[in-house]
Amino acid sequence: MRLLDTIVAPATPPGEGGIGIVRVSGPSATDLLAVVFRGKTHPADMVSHHLYLGHLLNRDHQRVDEVLAVLMRAPRSYTGEDVVEVHCHGGVQILRSVLDLFLEAGARIADPGEFTLRAFLNGRLDLAQAEAVIEVIRARSERASRVALDQLEGQLSRQIYRFSDQIKEALALVEAHIDFPDDEVGTLDLGELAAPIRELARDMSVLANSFDVGRALREGISILILGRPNVGKSSLMNAILGESRAIVTEFAGTTRDTLEEQLVLAGFPVRLVDAAGVRDTDDPIEREGVQRAKDKAAAADLVLLVVDGSAPLTEEDALALQLCQSEKTLLVINKSDQAQICDLGKLAAFTRQVAISAKYGPGLTALRSAIVDHLCRDAALSGGEGVVITERRHRDALLRAITALEAFQRTSAASEHLEFLAMDLREALAALGQVTGETTPDEILEQIFSRFCVGK
Ligand code: GDP
């Protein structure tokens, strides 16, 4: 990886804005600024982390823009190298011209994520922290951004280092007995060695399991509203959203296509989907809709199965019921404001039920809390405490480390050769090292940083 050259990229998104920022990082950042910047202070004399007003000039000494420039000297910068940021006017053409100035002066356009990659390579961030940068940027709820920020500030890494330290301690003990078998180190009590490792594996699996929450925070949760035409799905969607965005109609089967809305519930980003009215029909468009509803029910994290409490169950209701797995379905009995004649006995398979009136409001609060209960069915989900992992890669690394520690338990119980014990522990360490980046292969690093945007 090339760290000798100096890279440049816009740090703000393309488009118009109050200001646009161009970022430069590398050993010649100050020299490049000196080529393009004219102000009262020469870049070589700039105090680190101070803003200076001036102009950017092109080769013909024409003004390109009036700007504020800041120099952040190594190693106290995002990348750990000399970094220059130029705050110019936020226009597409201006940003392009400013970028061109630095390119002409000798900078190279940065690859996606290259600033963060450099921060990682220079030891400013470990890999888990670097990955958190993109999570902070992409977070879609306050809770998701809090988890990402914790990771950026090193909470996950510290936890991983704590695990590694304990394993290293055990490894040192085993190695001492390998190196000096008959010496004054005494005999190794394998039972005593194995007990804390067992506990460690348990702690590690708690962390690995937090991925369920992490995934939900990162990718969001999809909730599907399902039911035959006219039971009140659109009305329910509107009621949950608190405003009329879905189309409500008196005629059955007009909500043909699926409608999607985004909202935040209990800190989780949620995608609320109103499926096509499920009805048995020969109409190809409707059939297509039913098929899609089937697929969506299978993919959804939670299905709100809506029935009309004021009408007997129909064949179409039965069809909708068939599409749902009871463990991730919440039965919503709508139109509670009317006389209830629906045969609830047939719905007993769905243990979680809420009666509501989507049109008039009663039951909606209970429904919201039933949804939240479902989302937070694990204790870990509801608590804001504890480190949460959001990357599948981290979970897989933890699982590999746990497998190695389980092998260690078996090896120690069988009192096998100490060298085998040491191998298991080293394997666990290597797996953990992949989370923080000490043992992560280059191609994985490349893959991780290529997900970043340019300029980050
Ligand atoms: P969808 O086809 O399942 O999306 O159903 P809609 O939301 O379009 O509602 C169908 C009809 O039922 C409309 O006339 C709604 O006003 C009515 N409706 C929906 N919810 C309720 C309710 O809670 N009580 C009553 N009385 N009518 C409702």
Q: Is 329 in the pocket of ligand 1 (CB under 6 A)?
A: no
Looking from the CA of 151 toward its CB, the CA atoms found within 13 Å total 27
What is residue 187's predicted lDDT score, i.e. its pLDDT? 76
Q: Is 249 in the pocket of ligand 1 (CB under 6 A)?
A: yes
Which residue puts its alpha carbon closest to atom 18 of ligand 1?
A: 232
Tell me the pTM: 0.77
Q: Is 238 in the pocket of ligand 1 (CB under 6 A)?
A: no
Which residue puts its alpha carbon closest to atom 13 of ligand 1?
A: 250
What is residue 242's predicted lDDT score, i.e. its pLDDT? 77
Distance between Cα 274 and ligand 1 center (Å): 13
The sheet with strand 259-265 has its strands ordered as: 259-265, 268-274, 221-226, 302-308, 329-334, 353-355
Q: How far apart are CA 426 and CA 401, in angstroms?
A: 9
Which residue puts its alpha carbon closest to atom 6 of ligand 1?
A: 232
CATH class of 129-210+389-437: mainly alpha
Q: Is 165 helix (H, G, I), strand (E, B) or coil?
A: helix
7-125 carries CATH number 3.40.630.30 = no
Please check whether residue 17 is in contact with residue 94, taking contact to mean a CB–CB distance below 8 angstroms.
no
Q: Is beta strand 63-72 parallel, antiparallel or unpaired with respect to 83-90?
A: antiparallel
Q: Which atom of ligand 1 is nearest to the CA of 231?
A: 3
DSSP assignment of 271-315: EEEEPPPP---S-HHHHHHHHHHHHHHHH-SEEEEEEETTS---H
Q: Is 367 helix (H, G, I), strand (E, B) or coil?
A: helix
Which residue puts its alpha carbon closest to atom 5 of ligand 1?
A: 232
- pLDDT per residue, tens digit, the chain (456 aa), is 556 899 999 999 888 999 999 999 999 999 999 999 999 999 999 999 999 999 999 999 999 999 999 999 999 999 999 999 999 999 999 999 999 999 999 999 999 999 999 999 999 999 999 999 999 988 888 888 999 999 999 999 999 999 999 999 999 999 988 888 766 667 778 888 899 999 999 999 999 998 988 888 888 889 999 998 899 998 999 888 875 444 454 555 444 456 788 888 878 888 888 876 566 666 666 667 677 778 888 889 999 999 999 999 988 888 888 888 878 899 999 999 998 888 888 888 888 999 999 999 899 989 988 888 887 765 455 455 578 999 999 999 999 999 999 999 998 888 778 899 999 999 999 999 999 998 888 888 888 888 888 888
Distance between Cα 267 and ligand 1 center (Å): 29
Asked if the domains at 129-210+389-437 and 220-381 fall in one CATH topology, the answer is no
Distance between Cα 250 and ligand 1 center (Å): 8
Q: How far apart are CA 394 and CA 200, in angstroms?
A: 17
Residue 73 amino acid letter: R
Distance between Cα 318 and ligand 1 center (Å): 19
Distance between Cα 229 and ligand 1 center (Å): 9
Q: Which atom of ligand 1 is nearest to the CA of 356?
A: 23
Q: How many other C-beta atoms can be found within 10 angstroms of the C-beta atom of residue 167?
A: 23
**Considering the domain 220-381, what is its CATH architecture?**
3-Layer(aba) Sandwich (3.40)
Q: How far apart are CA 328 and CA 324, in angstroms?
A: 8
Q: Which atom of ligand 1 is nearest to the CA of 237?
A: 7
Q: How far apart are CA 272 and CA 241, in angstroms?
A: 9
The structural domains of the chain, with segments of one domain joined by +, span 7-125, 129-210+389-437, 220-381
Query: What is the phi/psi pair of residue 69, to 5°?
Result: -120, 145
Q: Which atom of ligand 1 is nearest to the CA of 227?
A: 3
Q: How far apart are CA 156 and CA 159, in angstroms?
A: 5
Q: Is 253 in the pocket of ligand 1 (CB under 6 A)?
A: no
